[in-house]
Amino acid sequence: YVYKAQREVEAEMRRLKLELKQTMDMYNAACKEAINAKQRAKEMHLLKMEEARRLEEARQSEEAALALAEMEKVKCRAAMETAEAAQRLADLEAQRRRNAEVRARREADEKVRALDAIANHDFRYRKYTIDEIEIATEGFSESLKIGEGGYGPVYSASLDHTPVAIKVLRPDAQQGRKQFQQEVEVLSCIRHPNMVLLLGACPEYGCLVYEYMENGSLEDRLYRRGGTPTLPWSQRFRISAEIATALLFLHQTKPEPLVHRDLKPANILLDRNYVSKISDVGLARLVPPAVADSVTQYRLTATAGTFCYIDPEYQQTGKLGVKSDIYSLGVLLLQVITARPPMGLTHHVEKAIESGTFAQMLDITVKDWPVEDALGFAKLSLQCTEMRRRDRPDLGTVILPELNRLRNLGIAYDQARAAVPAGDSSSHGQERVSSPTVDAGLWRTAES
C-alpha cells in the first residue's frame, strides 16, 4: 500500500512536472509572442509616423506647388498687363506718328501752297521781275553793293521812284530758299514802326526789296564806320527801347509767338532820323503758344543764330523759347553803351562793376554819360544774359518799362538842352553846353 501510494505520488509529480513544463513552454511562447507583437506594434508605429511624415511632406509640397502656381499666375497676369500696356503705348505712339505724318503732310501742302501763292498770286507785297531788279541794280553792280550776309549781297537801288535796298539770294547759300520764304511770310503779314518794311520780292530768283535805311546798321554806327558821328547816349537809350518794343511785338504775334533767333546790332537798321528797325527775320521761328513761355520750350533739331549772341541754353539743349531772344538782347544792349565787340563783353562789364570801374567801360566817344543810369542799364542787360532762361527778366513787365523810362529821360534831357539860350552857348561853343554846371541844370530839368 505504501509502495503503491508512493508510485501514485511519483506519477502525480511527473504529471505536474509535465504540466508545469507545458505551462512554462506556453508562457515562454506567450512571452515571445508578446515581444514579437510589441516589436510589430513598434514597427507599425514607426511606419505610421513615417507615413504621417510623408503625408505632411506631400501636403507641404502641395501647398508650395499651389503657392508657386499662384505666384506664376500673378506673374503671368502682370506680364499680360505689361504686354497690354505696352500694346496701348505702341498704339498711342503709332497714332501720334500717324498724326505727326498727317501734320507734316498738311504743313508740306501748306508750304507748297504758300510757295505757289508767292510765285503766282500773292498780293500781300509787290512782285518784281528779275529784269526790273537787274535794271535797278545796274546789273548787280559792285558800286551799288552796300552789304553782304550769309543770305547774299545787298544793293541800294531805286524802284518805283523810291530808294530801296535789294537783298539777292546767293545760288550757293545754305538754307537760302527757306530763309527767303520765312522772311516773306513774316514781313508780309506783320507791320510795326520798328520792323523793317518789305516792299516787294522776286520769288523766282529769291530777291527781297526793303525800304532803304539811310544810316545803315546799328553796328556800323556804334563802331563809327565811314567816319560817322557818335551816337548820343539819349539816342542810344531811345534805340534800345525801340528794339525792345519791336521784339515784344514779335513775341506777342498771334496766333503763335515769333522768336527772332538772330538779334544783333548788324540786324538793327537805322533810317534817316535814326529810328531803329529790326531786320533779317529769315531765321525767325514760330513757336506754339503752349511752349512759348520760359518753362517749357520748343525743341529744335539744330540751333541757329550768331556766335556770342546765341542763348546758351538753346545752344546746349535745342529748346527754343521767347527768352532765347532776351539773351541776345542783353548782349546787344551792352554793346549799345560800350561800343565793344560781343566776345567776353558780359564778363568784362561784370568785373568792371565789381571793381568800381564801370565808367571806363562806357563808350569814350560820349562825354556826358549819366553814369548811374547807364549802370542800371548795364545791370539790367546782365540780367538778360543769365545762363538759365528762368533767371532772365520778363520783356514786357521788367525790361521794356525800364528802357522806356531811360528813353523818356533822354528825351527830357535833349529838350532841356535845346532850351538853353543861344547866348549861353555861343561864347564857349559845345564846351559850355556840356560843362558840369550846365549839365547839372539840364539834369534837374530832365528829372523834373
* Helix H or strand E encompassing 381: helix 371-384
Among 297, 326, 328, which residue's Cα sits nearest to residue 396?
326
Contact 392, 384 (CB under 8 A): yes
Is the pLDDT at 110 greater than 80? The verdict is no
Indicate if 262 belongs to the active site: yes
Contact 141, 113 (CB under 8 A): no
Among 172, 251, 163, which residue's Cα sits nearest to residue 212?
163
Alpha helices in 255-344 (DSSP H): 312-317, 323-338
Contact 263, 309 (CB under 8 A): yes
Is the pLDDT at 173 greater than 90? The verdict is no
Pairing of strands 162-168, 207-211: antiparallel
Is the pLDDT at 14 greater than 70? The verdict is yes
Confidence (pLDDT) at 255: 76
Model confidence pLDDT, tens digit, residues 254-280: 777 888 888 999 999 999 999 999 988
- CATH number of the structural domain 218-447: 1.10.510.10
Query: How is domain 126-211 classified at the CATH fold level?
Result: Phosphorylase Kinase; domain 1 (3.30.200)
Confidence (pLDDT) at 314: 87
Arithmetic mean of pLDDT, 164-180: 75
Model confidence pLDDT, tens digit, residues 426-440: 433 333 334 343 454
Catalytic pick among 25, 109, 172, 262 = 262
Residues 6+ apart with CB under 8 A from 287: 256, 257, 258, 259, 298, 320, 321, 322
Q: Which three cell numbers stand for residue 316?
A: 546746349
- In the chain, the N- to C-terminal Cα span, in Å, equals 179
Arithmetic mean of pLDDT, 24-34: 92
Delimit the domains of the chain by residue range. 126-211, 218-447
Confidence (pLDDT) at 376: 96
Is the pLDDT at 352 greater than 70? The verdict is yes
Inter-CA distances, 339 with 119, 277, 363, 406, Å: 42, 19, 6, 18
* Helix H or strand E encompassing 125: none
Inter-CA distances, 381 with 239, 335, 402, 403, Å: 14, 10, 11, 10
Confidence (pLDDT) at 181: 77
Quote the CA–CA distance of 19 and 441 in Å, as a whole number: 160
Model confidence pLDDT, tens digit, residues 80-106: 999 999 999 999 999 999 998 888 888
Confidence (pLDDT) at 205: 84
Q: For the chain, give the percent of residues with pLDDT over 90.
A: 59
Domain 126-211 shares a fold with domain 218-447: no
Q: For the chain, give the percent of residues with pLDDT over 70.
A: 84
Confidence (pLDDT) at 301: 41
**Mean of the per-residue pLDDT values of the chain:** 84
Model confidence pLDDT, tens digit, residues 211-225: 999 999 999 999 999
Pairing of strands 198-202, 153-159: unpaired
Quote the CA–CA distance of 392 and 381 in Å, as a whole number: 10
